[in-house]
Amino acid sequence: MSPSVMTSERISLGDVTPNNVGQLRKLNQVIFPVNYAEKFYQDVLEVGELAKLVYYNDVCVGAVCCRKETNDKETRVYMMTLGVLKPYRQLGLGRRLLDHILEHASAYSSIYLHVQITNGSALNFYKKNGFEVVDTEKDYYKHIEPRDAYVLRKAL
């Protein structure tokens, strides 16, 4: 069996539920320099397939959380978070989460997200997966430095 087949068999996705939302909260505290309010976690429980936990060898090591947005012109998906614990990066887990979201977001016009301007690894990941930098938002982050973020978008 090739290593990539073995790796993919070790990766599984799971729903975010009231019983495991605490795991998501803990992951976010470790992965991201931002603290998310309780409303974030309440909202995540309502988005169905647009929020997933990723498991490696049955250990929860990452997650993705999105929301649907509608304005006059389009309905799109905003990716609030996508992250994997540092020791589990480069194993295809982030890609698996992103592929899941792209598959379930196909009915929408686009998907977009913010990336801190100094987060080169995230920027490279999204560019490699077809996202483009479409804007820079000054002072997007209120409690971390640098405060600016790139807006990345992918048409669906």
Phi first, then psi, for residue 114 (nearest 5°) are -110, 140
Catalytic residue, chosen from 78, 88, 140, 141, is 78
Using DSSP, state whether 154 is helix, strand or coil: strand
Is 78 annotated in the active site?
Answer: yes
Residue 22: other Cβ atoms inside 10 A: 10
CA distance 35 to 37: 7
Catalytic residue, chosen from 41, 56, 108, 114, is 114
Is 114 annotated in the active site?
Answer: yes
Q: Are strands 51-56 and 149-155 parallel, antiparallel or unpaired?
A: unpaired
Residues belonging to the active site: 78, 114
